[in-house]
């Protein structure tokens, strides 16, 4: 075979087959494309259809139309009466011309040069007085040419004609059109004949999925829309299936490990719970029962405790920690079982340390805190006083703390990731609790195992999150964990009052509400989307309130009589910790912050949160932010200020106001915005097509069922070499879904 006609190697680099300039290389890197296989798995986000394109002369008011043509006369302006900023341009196609107007989006007119060939899609509207037609807020994208009536077939001139054309995610330096032609060249080389399908034929037949070869052609060059949908279904199933396969292998390996049997007397446990200043909810009791049942099985528990902000996860953690601490290791004369509790930040770890002191102060239990800043131990031999406040713990050296942990004298160790450093060794680590670690993966679990001085014993693991996760995502991402839900709020907790506004007058009213709360000695958060003000010279920059400038404005003109301070991600960790501690101690009245406080310290005295630019946050994130003030039995308020008042924004904020809990909100946001936008595919290691699949509970359950059956029948996948090779390839590329 002539070398020029040899199929491309899927694992060869793109630059071996295409001449790339530096901007193109950078753009491909941003898109995650390095090999030809990456290119083929860079799927279109949607498809245009030249058959639905209109000539400008044929447009009528009320149409939603697609037009191809040249754009010109681009400018920015303001409405004569409304003063609304807008961008304008004129599109011509030979049959006529029509104006395009982008309200509140003037920057769009600066993103395209006059004389550019474009595809433009939008609703045809008419001016009231003149009847002149225009396209209102249309989508616009550059194209290299106006396609002919049958499009440009990826199969070549002799292949079947079709009118659908793919539109790919692009980046500055690489356009959708460049990707289109690169994929066309790869497919024309015969590459798909060299690629082996990792999914077994019987699985494909059982779920009516196309083969890999068919799916690659259909997703990049569909003759009809149903072909593209069938291809996406196949790749979605494949991705979720391999996530599930990896998860089930992890689960199987975890369940092989022996663990301490923990079975405390029921009377003793009830006595511990009876000291709580509140009754447990039915959901808390159910979750405790789930964990205790796992403790008795003799192999390591791996469970996720998912609960709304303020639903009482810490009480569940403390109760189950008590079950472990009050159990003596079998066959040993000295020491109790030990608990490790890991939190993502020093201030949260310190908060949990203080909570555990309150839960266990009536018992002869030693509790320690270990962070990058230092170590503490409770109880102190001699209580001390700081600023007139009794302190029952004492600062100790790291070396001394590690010695006591290794000897078993410390029952509960609370800390940050410092807990899994090599220097930390436990005598009888039986139970590990991980707070707000959205993916505490296999490597971290292994480090916990290594921290234990009892050979061959794995600690039980409880991972906790306050992030509301739709069931399908939880089944996929946490497929190796059992799941317990806290879907009730403690008795006496008042429902937060949530209001949305858009005008400066309404904002002033919100400030008055905040001032009333501050006058009663309460505290408040103000959340802004940005840290710094955008460059005034950059008209394309997103105009949104910034933490730094808003803190200055509020301190100088709105809340002059109160203490106002900023908090954001660019500050040093020590500075952030200091500000949060001062806010917790009541020295700061109004904390102006970015979403850095989304997972933050417990400040029961904070009862108001005002969120600027609310439309810029996902519903799940807004719910998390709102949860900062649902920390006591005081009435709490959440004020949402949206700069945009589009139908979607209004609908989403209305859902936030009316939803009963975070789980309901997560499902709503999933339907409205898609899983990828809601949770961020990159955050979970899942592509957009995989995130699409997670919206389909039947597909997730089918993939899970297949994975479980395969692992139960052949854990090493010896009978499925292609599948095993695919998992190993994903592991080499770092696709661990953690």
- 650-654 CB contacts, 8 Å cutoff, 24+ apart: 650/500, 652/615, 652/619, 653/500, 653/614, 653/615, 654/500
pLDDT in tens, 457-492: 889 999 898 877 777 777 777 778 888 988 888 777
Strands 338-342, 367-371: pairing kind: unpaired
Q: For the domain 49-142, what is the CATH code?
A: 2.40.50.140
- Cα distances (angstroms) measured from residue 623 to each of 179, 188, 510, 664: 38, 49, 19, 11
> pLDDT tens, 71-127?
999 988 887 666 778 889 999 988 889 999 887 777 777 778 888 888 888 888 888
Given phi > 0 = left and psi -120 to 50 = alpha, else beta, which region is 151?
left
What stretch(es) of the chain map to CATH 2.40.50.140? 49-142
| Residue 408 region by backbone torsions, left for phi larger than 0, else alpha for psi between -120 and 50, else beta | left
Contacts 24+ apart (CB under 8 A), 667-672: 667/470, 668/619, 669/618, 669/619, 669/620, 670/470, 670/695, 671/695, 672/619, 672/648
| DSSP secondary structure, 139-167, as one string | EEEE-SS---TT---TT-TTS----EEEE
Secondary-structure class of domain 497-660 per CATH: alpha beta
pLDDT in tens, 607-642: 999 999 888 887 878 888 888 888 778 899 999 998
Structure tokens at 292: 């205790």
**334 Cβ partners below 8 Å, 6+ apart?**
408
Rounded to whole angstroms, how far apart are CA atoms 454 and 431?
Answer: 13
- The architecture (CATH level 2) of 262-296+312-465 comes to 3-Layer(aba) Sandwich (3.40)
Rg value, the chain, Cα: 30
Per-residue confidence band for 599, with pLDDT thresholds at 50, 70 and 90 = low
pLDDT in tens, 20-64: 989 899 999 999 899 999 999 999 988 877 666 788 988 888 887
Q: In the prediction, which pLDDT does 675 show?
A: 42
Helix (H, G, I), strand (E, B) or coil at 494: coil
Structure tokens at 658: 């009316």
Confidence of residue 504 (pLDDT cuts 50, 70, 90): confident
Evaluate if pTM is beyond 0.75.
no
Per the CB < 8 A criterion, the answer to whether 468 and 665 are in contact is yes
Q: Which residue has the higher pLDDT, 635 or 597?
A: 635
Please give the Cα distance from 305 to 325 (Å, whole number): 20
- 442 pLDDT tier (thresholds 50, 70, 90): low
pLDDT exceeding 90 applies to what percent of the chain? Answer: 36
Q: Residue 275, SS3?
A: coil
- Cα(713)–Cα(347) distance, integer angstroms: 46
* pLDDT tens-place string over residues 316-348: 999 999 999 998 766 555 567 999 999 888 888
- Which tokens is 24 given? 């193109």
- For the stretch 645-699, pLDDT in tens is 777 778 888 888 888 777 788 777 666 654 443 343 344 456 777 766 777 778 8
Task: Specify the pLDDT at position 169.
Answer: 87
pLDDT at 275 over 80: yes
Neighbours of 700 (CB within 10 A): 25
**pLDDT exceeds cutoff 50 at 298:** yes
Question: Rounded CA gap, 6 and 29, in Å?
Answer: 26
Q: What is the pLDDT of residue 592?
A: 95
Q: Which residue has the tokens 């002033």?
A: 508
Strands ordered across the beta sheet of 497-501: 497-501, 637-641, 606-612, 523-527, 590-593, 564-567
Residues in the chain: 738
**CA pair distance 644, 613, nearest whole angstrom:** 8
- 140: nearest Cα among 48, 77, 204: 48
pLDDT band of residue 273 (cuts 50, 70, 90) is very high
Reduce the DSSP state of residue 439 to 3 states and report it: coil
Residue 643 pLDDT: 79
| CB-based burial label for 417 (10 Å; 0-12, 13-18, 19+) | middle
Q: CA–CA separation, 232 vs 113, rounded Å?
A: 34
What tokens were used for 88? 């304008």
State the pLDDT at residue 215. Answer: 96
- The mean pLDDT of 169-194, rounded to a whole number, is 87
pLDDT band at residue 385 under the 50/70/90 scheme:
low
Which of residues 281 and 600 earns the better pLDDT score? 281
Section 141-154 average pLDDT: 55
Name the nearest CA neighbour of 211 among 184, 190, 238: 238
What integer pLDDT is reported at residue 539 of this predicted model? Answer: 38
Distances (CA, A) of 609 to 200, 468, 508, 626: 53, 20, 14, 7
Between CA 105 and CA 137 the distance in angstroms is: 8
Please spell the DSSP secondary structure of 549-566, one letter per residue. HHHHHIIIIISTTS-EEE
Q: Please report the sign of the dihedral spanned by the C-alpha atoms of residue 112, residue 118, residue 121, residue 122.
A: positive
Contact 672, 654 (CB under 8 A): no
Residues of the chain with CATH 3.40.50.300: 262-296+312-465, 497-660
Q: What is the pLDDT of residue 544?
A: 66
CA–chain centroid gap for 300, Å, is 28
The whole-number pLDDT of residue 79 equals: 73
What is the structure's pLDDT at 497?
92
Rounded average pLDDT over 397-411: 93
- In angstroms, the CA 90 to CA 70 distance is 8
Q: What is the mean pLDDT of residues 251-273?
A: 88
For the ranges 100-114, 134-148, 159-173, the lowest mean pLDDT is seen at: 159-173
């Amino acid at each position: 075979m002539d070398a020029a006609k040899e199929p491309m190697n899927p694992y060869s680099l793109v630059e071996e087959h295409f001449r790339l300039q530096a901007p193109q290389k950078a753009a491909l890197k941003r898109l995650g494309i390095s090999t030809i296989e990456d290119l083929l798995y860079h799927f279109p986000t949607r498809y245009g259809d030249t058959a639905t394109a209109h000539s400008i002369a044929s447009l009528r008011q009320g149409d939603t139309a697609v037009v191809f043509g040249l754009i010109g006369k681009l400018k920015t302006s303001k409405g004569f009466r409304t003063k609304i900023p807008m961008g304008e341009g004129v599109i011509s196609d030979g049959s006529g011309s029509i104006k395009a107007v982008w309200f509140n989006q003037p920057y769009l007119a600066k993103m395209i040069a006059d004389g550019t060939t474009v595809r433009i899609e939008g609703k045809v509207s008419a001016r009231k007085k003149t009847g002149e037609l225009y396209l209102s807020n249309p989508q616009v994208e550059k194209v290299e040419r106006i396609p002919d009536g049958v499009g440009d077939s990826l199969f070549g001139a002799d292949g079947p004609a079709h009118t659908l054309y793919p539109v790919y995610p692009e980046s500055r330096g690489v356009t959708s059109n460049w990707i289109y032609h690169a994929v066309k060249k790869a497919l024309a080389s015969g590459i798909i004949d060299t690629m082996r399908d990792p999914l077994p034929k019987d699985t494909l037949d059982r779920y009516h999925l196309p083969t890999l070869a068919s799916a690659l052609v259909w997703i990049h060059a569909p003759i009809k829309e149903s072909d593209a949908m069938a291809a996406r279904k196949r790749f979605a199933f494949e991705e979720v299936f391999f996530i599930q396969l990896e998860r089930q292998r992890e689960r199987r390996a975890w369940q092989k490990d022996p663990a301490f049997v923990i079975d405390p007397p029921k009377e003793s446990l009830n006595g511990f719970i009876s000291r709580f200043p509140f009754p447990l909810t039915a959901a808390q009791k159910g979750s405790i029962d789930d964990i205790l049942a796992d403790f008795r099985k003799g192999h390591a528990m791996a469970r996720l405790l998912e609960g709304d902000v303020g639903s009482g996860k810490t009480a569940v953690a403390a109760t189950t920690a008590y079950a472990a601490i009050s159990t003596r290791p079998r066959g040993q004369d000295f020491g109790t079982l030990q608990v490790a509790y890991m939190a993502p930040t020093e201030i949260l770890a310190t908060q949990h340390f203080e909570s555990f002191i309150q839960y266990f102060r009536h018992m002869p239990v030693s509790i320690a805190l270990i962070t990058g800043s230092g170590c503490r131990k409770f109880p102190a031999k001699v209580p001390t006083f700081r600023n007139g406040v009794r302190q029952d713990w004492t600062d100790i050296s790291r070396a001394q703390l590690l010695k006591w942990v290794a000897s078993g004298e410390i029952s509960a160790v609370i800390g940050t990731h410092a807990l899994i450093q090599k220097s930390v060794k436990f005598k009888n680590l039986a139970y590990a609790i991980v707070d707000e670690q959205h993916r505490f993966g296999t490597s971290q679990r292994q480090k916990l195992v290594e921290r234990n001085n009892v050979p061959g014993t794995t600690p039980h693991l409880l991972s906790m999150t306050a992030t509301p996760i739709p069931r399908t995502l939880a089944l996929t991402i946490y497929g190796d964990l059992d799941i317990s839900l806290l879907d009730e709020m403690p008795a006496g907790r008042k429902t937060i009052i949530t209001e949305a506004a858009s005008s400066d007058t309404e904002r002033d009213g919100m400030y008055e509400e905040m001032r009333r709360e501050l006058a009663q000695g309460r505290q408040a958060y103000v959340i802004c989307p940005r840290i710094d003000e955008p460059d005034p010279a950059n008209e394309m920059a997103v105009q949104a309130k910034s933490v730094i400038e808003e803190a200055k404005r509020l301190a100088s003109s709105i809340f002059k009589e109160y203490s106002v301070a900023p908090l954001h991600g660019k500050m040093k960790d020590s500075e952030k910790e200091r500000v949060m501690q001062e806010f917790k101690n009541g020295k700061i009245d109004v904390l102006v912050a970015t979403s850095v406080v989304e997972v933050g310290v417990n400040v029961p005295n904070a009862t108001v949160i005002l969120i600027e630019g609310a439309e810029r946050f996902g519903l799940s994130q807004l719910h998390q932010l709102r949860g900062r003030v649902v920390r006591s039995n005081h009435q709490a308020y959440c004020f949402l200020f949206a700069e945009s008042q589009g139908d979607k924004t209004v609908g989403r904020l209305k859902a936030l106001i009316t939803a009963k809990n975070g789980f309901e909100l997560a499902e709503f946001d999933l339907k409205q915005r898609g899983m990828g936008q809601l949770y961020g595919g990159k955050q979970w290691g899942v592509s957009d097509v995989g995130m699409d699949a997670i919206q389909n509970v039947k597909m997730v359950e089918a993939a899970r069922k297949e994975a479980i059956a395969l692992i139960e029948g052949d854990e090493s996948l010896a009978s499925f070499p292609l599948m095993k090779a695919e998992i190993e390839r994903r592991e080499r590329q770092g696709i661990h879904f953690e």
